[in-house]
Amino acid sequence: MKKNETLRTPSTPSRFKVGDRVQVRDMPNMFYTRTQNYVRGVTGTIAACTYKDLIPEDEAFNYDGRLEQYYIIRFRQKDLWEEYPFDNDTLQTEFPDRWLDPLETGQNRKK
Amino acid sequence: MTSRPELHQQYDIIASLQPALHVPQNCNYENPDSLFRALMHPPHDVGGQHDVPVYYEEKEEEEWELNTYVTCEVLGWKGIWSAEERRRRADNDLGYTLYLGMPYYGRWIWSAARMLVDKKHISLTELLDKIAEVKSRHEKK
């Protein structure tokens, strides 16, 4: 499919704002992804709403599908690696909307 | 022409490149969930995995590496593939043995050739004939 705005399905509205707590979905791994294994199921905080773009799983197969909002998510290193030695260190990485689930404040939050 | 001893040496090397699973595998019908998940794991997602220390080398790109980069970018500029498709092919589709065994830009040019064959811009026989021709030209120098 050629790059053509009119062929794209309407983009989804932004669901999250900076500061929201979100959990990364643990979707099946097959053929291609840019969602790292070590963030799946982990809770983080929206650090920035970046831009709308194609999702990697579509673009990697030249499928000019829907646009989705991208977010930069900030994780505590201790939430990713239990043995990590420093409490205040964080890791940021970026996902489109479909990889994120909303999380109510206080729910499932790690101590 | 490959001699028989060279052929057997190649088979030994290929066998030594097989992933070390430490248990016999033979097209298993039933895989435990953890093994299935590991099998489906994309090779390029290396974060968090154990590794040996990597030797750091200060090194300029070689001419073939720069040519590879330009070739792949031009293929993108012409709309034949996107950067994301290139990553899928060069980081993912080639499997662990090639991913770990080839230089960074070796994976790029491998995936560009594979993409051009897949999309029928060139046939595999055309590509192999060309590689053989260039190889023999260089051997005469």
DSSP letters of A45-88? EEEEEEEEEE-HHHHTTT----EEEEEEEEEEHHHH-TT-S-TT
Asked, for residue B55, whether it belongs to a domain, the answer is no
CB contact under 8 A, A33 and B40: no
Percent of chain A with pLDDT over 90: 70
**Considering only CB atoms, which chain B residues are within 8 Å of A31?**
88, 92
Stretch B25-43: mean pLDDT, rounded?
Answer: 82
Q: Domain residues for B68?
A: 62-141
User: Distance between the two ends of chain B, CA-based, in angstroms?
Assistant: 19
Stretch B115-122: mean pLDDT, rounded?
Answer: 97
Local confidence band at B21 (pLDDT 50, 70, 90 cut-offs): low
Question: Do A24 and A40 contact (CB within 8 A), yes or no?
Answer: yes
- Of B7 and B86, the structure prediction assigns the larger pLDDT to B86
Asked, for residue B18, whether it belongs to a domain, the answer is no
Interface test with B, best of A3, A32, A35, A68 (most B CBs within 10 A): A32
Local confidence band at A104 (pLDDT 50, 70, 90 cut-offs): low
Range of weakest confidence among A7-16, B36-45, B69-78: A7-16
Q: What is the pLDDT of residues A54-98, one digit of tens each?
A: 999 999 998 877 899 999 999 999 999 988 999 999 999 999 999
Residue A5 pLDDT > 80 = no
Q: What is the pLDDT of residue B52?
A: 76
Of the candidates B141, B80, B83, B73, the residue with the CA atom closest to the CA atom of residue B115:
B80
Say how far residue B136 (Cα) sits from the centre of its chain. 23
Q: What is the pLDDT of residue A17?
A: 94
Asked, for residue B54, whether it belongs to a domain, the answer is no
- Of B34 and A44, the structure prediction assigns the larger pLDDT to A44
CB contact under 8 A, B48 and A81: yes
Asked, for residue A108, whether it belongs to a domain, the answer is no
Local confidence band at A111 (pLDDT 50, 70, 90 cut-offs): very low
Cα A95–A99–A102 angle (5° rounding)? 105
Asked, for residue B115, whether it belongs to a domain, the answer is yes
pTM of the model: 0.80
CB contact under 8 A, A36 and B45: yes
Count of the separate structural domains present in chain B: 1
Catalytically annotated residues of B: 104
Establish if A84 touches chain B: CB-CB under 8 angstroms: no
Q: At A91, which CATH number?
A: 2.30.30.50
Q: What is the pLDDT of residue B49?
A: 78
- Characterize B81-101 residue by residue with b for buried, 16 or more Cβ atoms within 10 angstroms of its Cβ, and e for exposed: bbebbbbbbbbbbbeeebbee
Least Cα separation, residue A61 to chain B (angstroms): 6
CA distances from residue B51 to B27, B34, B47, B48, B107 in whole angstroms, order as listed: 28, 20, 10, 9, 20
Closest chain A CA to residue B87: A60
Sheet holding A21-24, edge to edge: A90-96, A67-76, A43-54, A21-24, A100-102
Asked, for residue A94, whether it belongs to a domain, the answer is yes
Closest chain A CA to residue B93: A31
Q: What is the ipTM of this complex?
A: 0.77
Question: Do A73 and A45 contact (CB within 8 A), yes or no?
Answer: yes
Three-state DSSP state, B45: coil
